[in-house]
A and B are shown apart, each in its own frame.
Chain A
């Protein structure tokens, strides 16, 4: 089976080609059902293939293997093939991408019904899945970069999917440009790695970086540059600003790309090259700091949002912050574990939010919702499970992963540390905003939009929701085959010391959050205009709501000066040179045209004059 691994990215790609190419051969749109079958079917087949390969892989003792499809680049010492490296980490990612991806495709088939761009939607989605699979399967950084840019492109296409609204186009451009900042850093990082190690093969680089005596300066530089790419793609500080705006795309897209898969690419990249990061104390600390700050900042922002999707967007940023935090403290497998459970419950939450939005006729303001629990039972169930996992209540999947992160962070820092404190505070905040969302949408009085609620869940939408519910609840019991990948992780080597104080605090934090949320809801503090007179409502809440002013700062520091400079340069000296050329050409043209009089005598005369000129020339030279 392992030889067929190449078909995993190829199947969705074939789906993309079929869907995109359909327009070339048929003047009319192909039927929606056919689009859905091609779109979801190709990913479903890929998921099946991954499952079969995974079973064989585990049966063989989780031995990593490489499959080369063909040589892609072979020039000047740089060799990069379409070759795939499969180990436990890759397999986990493959499972998440194809499995969760397939469920989201299924859900989309119902959600997008009736949209003009139905076929286009599925073609983009398939291309995205294909690119993401290439990203995680690549055995060299060049191929990884191909997948990396591929998912960036698809993200751009899908955020701007409803391109007729100019705001969506702007959001798409923002996502593309902001992540491009990170991508540039990453590209430079690849160059640094290639210059130093003479290869882009990931296992070789890992091997050399893990060996003693590696140049710490180079390792730090390369790791920080890769981190730059990762924070861009994974929406971490300081490049997190694109993700909330990316909610302009269709909701299942947010579920697939901006929660479950693409944004975790940064986490995957760091985990994949972890020996490089381990070689640099500074880089590890940087990853942990980025993660801890992001998780706290984004959590606070989520606390004050009023748009259901923006709350989830900020919670995504915050949860990925946890993953980065985990990576930074060397809790590699805990980070990946959180990636997996997060993929389950965040996909669940986004899809459930999609159902709410669709049922309320595209209403996204949570203050106009409320009391929906009776009207939408399946969605309500999904939300309860999703929020419980997000908040990491005990015995949900989110609990197992987040608990492991906080525990290992405590061990890593050897006791109390401000980053650990941030993480724990973040857990409380997470509990508060999760249940604020749940309570405002499904409990309390019916809002203005709830009255027109019309449960839009069809079987094809409820099915994936229920499957994801099960996964989100039971996901914590999974054992990921990561032992062979993260050999330095104490959780994998069995050296994990369990500190009971930290353990208790980690369990208590989400419960405290829940309690605060319930209390505040009772008191009415979550109401739309509650506390607008206080310092919190006047100063802090708007600041947090706007993402701690990052957008405004970038606008003032970068965008405005840049457009200003560009405006200054509009009528520059170079332009005037071209204008001058045009004018000279036109003048010469007119003067020469004037010589074409059409008179024979004049023509004969010019011939004679020309001859004299030429003879004079000969005489002179």
Chain B
């Protein structure tokens, strides 16, 4: 390993160093605020080192041993994930301060604010786990070898199980929400294990053919005519099943709503953005390195999964009453859209579309979950009895907290793909890519899905602008969750309760990014190119 390769590795090394340092500090000094500060500082240092690496890569990516490749594209993902993790940690901080993180779903029982702070807590570990998972994501997107791919994926995943089930560590707390978190973590663990089995089997099949685990080497061997192409295709399809699980593509999506709902909202935001983004990024890389874009079977499987995801995701979200489940279903659909562009990933334009849509999806989803998280926090502070995760809770929100409602409206419009938002440009890219490749059936599924999507996004917006106390003619009711109490928001008496400044700033940054990239997409396009 030469000096250049070592330098290319600095972001990963920096982040690892930060993790070890933070672990040591937490071991001796537990201070929530300090931990957040150190986490953000660590992320900032890693961002700085990432930016320092970038001049090295003007021309070619740098291969670090046979396991990792650092390219400009992977640096873009580094930055994206690092910034997302920063947002997630700020949200987590507020959640812990309000106690919502360890009690994500309202149990209806009486709460005392002081109650939570009197007993020893382990909230600092959340940031540690977050950083470890982030390290996994970063390793994953730079993988050029199946071993690193597996390593990154599992590093990311293992930390994630703990993040999802985080409220469960408060063993002396006997509530439904704790069970729910534990259940969510456990479901994710078991199903992930199953998915990983598929993944490993796929890798094994490929290895059996070529005796190679490096992407480029496999491609070279396949091009040289070794092995059986059919087995390579089947190996890739099995691999794809593992990936589809992580991306929650239908029909491997069943865990998504339960996990999204059970996990603390910041962890949900992380699962929805970084974890999925990293998998998309590595899949894109794997497919182009290994030449899978030329193979029929995996592409067709992907196309089928895209269609089922778009339709199932949107249909499931249609009358959903729980905001976190709704966003879960919507994310299923969004990854479905993304796959449409992914199918054109062989061409430069397709890659661009995938990355642009991914950025749009991450910015918007983070924003949406930020609103959900902050809303829950303030509902907690206002000590409301009704669940802040019900859509009905958002009724009249525009009149209570116009700022939150406005940002949420922006996020929802972006998710729906309305012009002037980043989501529109993203969807436009998808269409352009799809039209270029002539995927008419897929595009009609995109249109159908978007039309259904508009209904449930707009429904929330309509809900938010209704005057509190107005009679609602909303005949929607979900088959899963019984409708909430009548207009719980009417009972809210929290004049003067405001959301924290840093939370507002996070929202402001995300909203501005959403609008800025929606109105001037060229800035982001230039970065991607």
Taking beta carbons and an 8 Å cutoff, which residues of A are in contact with B? Answer: 585-586, 588-590, 592-596, 598, 600, 602-604, 606-611, 613-615, 617-618, 621
A592-B304 CB under 8 A given contacts A600-B191, A609-B251 = no
A617-B301 CB under 8 A given contacts A592-B315, A592-B316, A600-B191 = yes
A604–B304 touching, CB < 8 Å: no
Residues of the A chain whose Cβ atoms lie less than 8 Å from the Cβ of B473: none
Cβ contacts A to B, 17 pairs, < 8 Å: A585-B315, A585-B452, A586-B319, A589-B318, A589-B479, A590-B479, A592-B315, A593-B480, A596-B254, A607-B194, A607-B245, A607-B254, A610-B251, A611-B198, A611-B238, A618-B234, A621-B296
Shortest 9 CB-CB distances between A and B: which pairs? A593-B479, A610-B251, A603-B254, A589-B318, A590-B479, A618-B297, A588-B315, A593-B480, A589-B315
B312–A592 touching, CB < 8 Å: yes
For window 267-319 of chain B, which residues contact chain A by CB distance below 8 Å?
296-297, 300-301, 304-305, 312, 315-316, 318-319
- A596–B237 CA distance with the chains assembled, in angstroms: 25
Residues of the B chain whose Cβ atoms lie less than 8 Å from the Cβ of A585: 315, 318, 452
B257 at the interface (CB under 8 A from A): yes
B73 at the interface (CB under 8 A from A): no
B318–A604 touching, CB < 8 Å: no
A596–B187 touching, CB < 8 Å: no
B252, B257, B319: which contacts A589 (Cβ < 8 A)?
B319
State how many angstroms separate the Cβ of A467 from the closest Cβ of chain B.
51
- A594–B319 CA distance with the chains assembled, in angstroms: 13
A607–B479 touching, CB < 8 Å: no
Residues of the B chain whose Cβ atoms lie less than 8 Å from the Cβ of A595: 254
Q: What per-residue 1/0 map shows which CB atoms of B125-145 lie under 8 Å from chain A?
A: 000000000000000000000
State how many angstroms separate the Cβ of B315 from the closest Cβ of chain A.
5
A586, A593, A607, A618: which contacts B316 (Cβ < 8 A)?
A593
B195 at the interface (CB under 8 A from A): yes
State how many angstroms separate the Cβ of B180 from the closest Cβ of chain A.
10
- A593–B301 CA distance with the chains assembled, in angstroms: 24
Residues of the B chain whose Cβ atoms lie less than 8 Å from the Cβ of A604: 190-191, 194
B258 at the interface (CB under 8 A from A): yes
Interface size class of B (residues with CB under 8 A): 35 or more
B18 at the interface (CB under 8 A from A): no
- A150–B95 CA distance with the chains assembled, in angstroms: 55
Residues of the A chain whose Cβ atoms lie less than 8 Å from the Cβ of B238: 611
With both beta carbons as reference points, the residue of chain B lying nearest to A605 in the complex is identified as B254
Residues of the B chain whose Cβ atoms lie less than 8 Å from the Cβ of A614: 237, 240-241, 301, 304-305
A621-B297 CB under 8 A given contacts A589-B315, A593-B316 = yes
A607–B187 touching, CB < 8 Å: no
B255 at the interface (CB under 8 A from A): yes
B187–A600 touching, CB < 8 Å: yes
For window 221-256 of chain B, which residues contact chain A by CB distance below 8 Å?
233-234, 237-238, 240-241, 245, 251-252, 254-255
State how many angstroms separate the Cβ of B435 from the closest Cβ of chain A.
24
B251–A618 touching, CB < 8 Å: no
Residues of the A chain whose Cβ atoms lie less than 8 Å from the Cβ of B194: 604, 607-608
A600-B190 CB under 8 A given contacts A586-B319, A592-B312 = yes
With both beta carbons as reference points, the residue of chain A lying nearest to B250 in the complex is identified as A610
Residues of the A chain whose Cβ atoms lie less than 8 Å from the Cβ of B254: 595-596, 602-603, 606-607
B522 at the interface (CB under 8 A from A): no
State how many angstroms separate the Cβ of B446 from the closest Cβ of chain A.
16
B502 at the interface (CB under 8 A from A): no
For window 131-183 of chain B, which residues contact chain A by CB distance below 8 Å?
none
B478 at the interface (CB under 8 A from A): yes
State how many angstroms separate the Cβ of B240 from the closest Cβ of chain A.
8
A594, A610, A613: which contacts B479 (Cβ < 8 A)?
A594
A617–B300 touching, CB < 8 Å: yes
Residues of the B chain whose Cβ atoms lie less than 8 Å from the Cβ of A593: 316, 478-480
State how many angstroms separate the Cβ of B470 from the closest Cβ of chain A.
22
B257–A596 touching, CB < 8 Å: yes
Most central of B233, B245, B312, B315 by chain A CB within 10 Å: B315
A621-B480 CB under 8 A given contacts A592-B312, A611-B241, A615-B234 = no
A618-B233 CB under 8 A given contacts A585-B452, A603-B191 = yes
- A263–B139 CA distance with the chains assembled, in angstroms: 77
B186, B190, B252, B301: which contacts A618 (Cβ < 8 A)?
B301
Residues of the B chain whose Cβ atoms lie less than 8 Å from the Cβ of A609: 251
With both beta carbons as reference points, the residue of chain A lying nearest to B254 in the complex is identified as A603
State how many angstroms separate the Cβ of A200 from the closest Cβ of chain B.
32
- A619–B504 CA distance with the chains assembled, in angstroms: 53
State how many angstroms separate the Cβ of A580 from the closest Cβ of chain B.
14
For window 186-208 of chain B, which residues contact chain A by CB distance below 8 Å?
186-187, 190-191, 194-195, 198
- A613–B250 CA distance with the chains assembled, in angstroms: 12
- A604–B251 CA distance with the chains assembled, in angstroms: 11
State how many angstroms separate the Cβ of B436 from the closest Cβ of chain A.
23
Residues of the B chain whose Cβ atoms lie less than 8 Å from the Cβ of A596: 254, 257-258, 316, 480
Residues of the B chain whose Cβ atoms lie less than 8 Å from the Cβ of A610: 241, 251-252
B252–A607 touching, CB < 8 Å: yes
Residues of the B chain whose Cβ atoms lie less than 8 Å from the Cβ of A594: 479
- A466–B194 CA distance with the chains assembled, in angstroms: 96
Residues of the A chain whose Cβ atoms lie less than 8 Å from the Cβ of B240: 614
A606–B318 touching, CB < 8 Å: no
State how many angstroms separate the Cβ of B221 from the closest Cβ of chain A.
21
A618-B237 CB under 8 A given contacts A585-B452, A598-B258 = yes
With both beta carbons as reference points, the residue of chain B lying nearest to A615 in the complex is identified as B237
- A595–B313 CA distance with the chains assembled, in angstroms: 13
A603–B480 touching, CB < 8 Å: no
State how many angstroms separate the Cβ of A579 from the closest Cβ of chain B.
13
- A606–B244 CA distance with the chains assembled, in angstroms: 13
Residues of the A chain whose Cβ atoms lie less than 8 Å from the Cβ of B186: 600
Residues of the B chain whose Cβ atoms lie less than 8 Å from the Cβ of A589: 315-316, 318-319, 479
State how many angstroms separate the Cβ of A425 from the closest Cβ of chain B.
61
Residues of the A chain whose Cβ atoms lie less than 8 Å from the Cβ of B251: 606-607, 609-610, 613
State how many angstroms separate the Cβ of A586 from the closest Cβ of chain B.
7
Residues of the A chain whose Cβ atoms lie less than 8 Å from the Cβ of B233: 618
With both beta carbons as reference points, the residue of chain A lying nearest to B241 in the complex is identified as A611
- A446–B287 CA distance with the chains assembled, in angstroms: 98
- A588–B251 CA distance with the chains assembled, in angstroms: 15
- A607–B479 CA distance with the chains assembled, in angstroms: 22
- A617–B305 CA distance with the chains assembled, in angstroms: 11
B237–A621 touching, CB < 8 Å: no
